[in-house]
Amino acid sequence: MGLFSKKPPCPICGGKIPLILPSKIEDEYICNTCYNKIDMGADQENHLTMQGLREYLAFYEQNQRLKEQFVISERIDFGLWDTKIIFDHRNKLFCMSKNPDKTVFEGQQLKSFTIKEDSTPLFEGSAAGIRRYASTVTERTMAMAPQIAQSAANRRMARTLDRLDDGKVNNSAPVQYFDIPEPFQAFNVELHFDHPYWTVLQCDMDGPRFDNSHPDVNNYLRSYQQSIEEIEKLVAALRTVAFPGAAEQSVGLGPVGMQAAYTTMAPPTDAIEEIKKYKALMEDGIISQQEFEAKKKQLLGI
Ligand SMILES: [Zn+2]
């Protein structure tokens, strides 16, 4: 005990400094209670001085009042790492957590926001207006249908060939995985602030993923549509708390909406060629009639 008890108490509150991995600001140890109150942008936190921490704690106490006043009217789930954003529409507040236990922002502190599909803008918002850009994800996904069908066919073929291989287990054969790159990886959300401790807050919402064993364009587009609905809710909520007067504007959206483009697509002409190939394989006895029929249905999307 002797060694540890020599550590002076927390210079902020006089509390106990933890024995294990105590936190340090400049050259002074501070207690966990004080340290855990720090919630600010990485840039600000990396340059935090003891004086800065004292000033921040005054801000923190003020922010406590907003936390107490917060009534959750909407909660939006980002999926990854359980990240959530909650809104108080009436008091025009929001907080990046599932409860108001982190910094509570006032709507007027939000300067602008952007939501991108990887690096392609989907939404941009500020007091000047909310812009929605046309997305090419649906078209790009549809264009991948032949590739996805081919990938599934290759896997089925590998399995069939394995079965023909005298029942011998071939351990050296590579395992077949679907390795289809998604049209985009994530919705990148960026909130820009006019705030003493936050310049920008970034968070990602994962884009949909193709199923590893049964990749399917329609399933993908259904999950994509669900994500878009979440994103639209987020945009509407940000608008309510920060830019209630902002007009909405669509940029580059044609008369055919996303949903329409998705339901009116004819099977790609490549599919017909693919079916002919499988028919030949069936006639050669390499695949069964059942496998051929399944393939045909899949390629035609029926
Ligand atoms: Zn302390």
Give the integer Cα–Cα distance in Å for 53 and 45.
9
Distance in Å, CA 40 to ligand 1 centroid: 18
**How many CA atoms does the CB half-sphere of 121 hold within 13 Å?**
12
DSSP 181-238: PPS-SEEEEEEEE-SSS-SEEEEEEEPP---SSS--HHHHHHHHHHHHHHHHHHHHHH
Q: 32 and 19: one domain? A: yes
**For residue 292, what are the CA distances in angstroms to 150, 155, 271, 281, 299?**
13, 14, 13, 8, 10
Q: Are residues 34 and 163 in the same domain?
A: no
Q: How many structural domains comprise the chain? A: 3
Q: How far is the centre of ligand 1, averaged over its atoms, from the C-alpha of 200 (Å)?
A: 27
The two structure tokens encoding residue 176: 């077949």
Tell me how far the alpha carbon of residue 4 lies from the centroid of ligand 1, in angstroms: 17
Q: What is the pLDDT of residue 48?
A: 95
Helix/strand/coil percentages in the chain, nearest 5: 40, 20, 40
Last residue of a domain, one of 69, 90, 125: 69
Co-location of 33 and 171 in the same domain = no
CB atoms within 10 A of CB 35: 17
User: Contact, 216 vs 299, CB < 8 A?
Assistant: no
- Same domain assignment for residues 195 and 122: yes
Same domain, 160 and 34: no
Question: Which among 69, 93, 119 is the end of a domain?
Answer: 69
The amino acid at 79: G
Considering the domain architecture, whether residues 6 and 87 belong to the same structural domain is answered as no
- CA-based torsion, 59, 64, 67, 68: positive or negative: negative
82 alpha carbon to ligand 1 midpoint, in Å?
29
Assess contact for 108 and 242: CB atoms under 8 A.
Answer: yes
Do 249 and 136 belong to one domain?
A: yes
| Span from the CA of 16 to the centroid of ligand 1 (angstroms) | 7
* pLDDT tens by residue, the chain, 302 residues: 445 556 789 999 999 999 888 999 998 999 999 999 999 999 999 999 999 999 999 999 999 999 999 999 999 987 666 679 999 999 999 999 999 999 999 999 999 999 999 999 999 999 999 999 999 999 999 999 988 888 778 777 777 777 776 555 555 555 555 678 899 999 999 999 999 999 999 988 899 999 877 888 999 999 999 999 999 999 999 999 999 999 999 988 544 444 444 444 445 556 777 778 878 878 877 778 888 788 777 777 66
Range of 60's domain?
1-69
Same domain, residue pair 2 and 129:
no
Please tell me the distance between residue 53's alpha carbon and the centre of ligand 1 in angstroms: 11
Assess whether 88 and 228 both reside in one domain: yes
Owner of token pair 């803008």: 121
Which DSSP category does 108 fall into?
G
Q: What is the 254 CA–ligand 1 centroid distance (Å)?
A: 58
CA dist 136 and 221 (Å) reads 12
Q: Are residues 133 and 281 in the same domain?
A: no
Q: Find the 23 Cα to ligand 1 centroid distance in Å.
A: 10
Same domain, 191 and 55: no
Q: In terms of domains, do 135 and 254 share one?
A: yes
CA of 217 to the centre of ligand 1 (A): 55
Strands 129-133 and 248-251: parallel
- Residues 232 and 132 sit within 8 Å (Cβ to Cβ): no
Residue at which a domain ends, from 25, 41, 69: 69
Taking the C-alpha atoms of residue 20 and residue 26, their distance in angstroms, rounded to an integer, is 18
194 C-alpha vs ligand 1 centroid, how far in Å? 28
CA of 34 to the centre of ligand 1 (A): 4
Q: How far is the CA of 242 from the centre of ligand 1 (A)?
A: 34
Cα-to-centroid distance, 32 and ligand 1 (Å) = 7
Q: How many angstroms separate the alpha carbon of residue 294 from the centre of ligand 1? A: 66
> Residue 207: what pLDDT?
93
Q: How far is the CA of 46 from the centre of ligand 1 (A)?
A: 19
Residue whose pair of structure tokens reads 């364009």 in the numeric block: 217
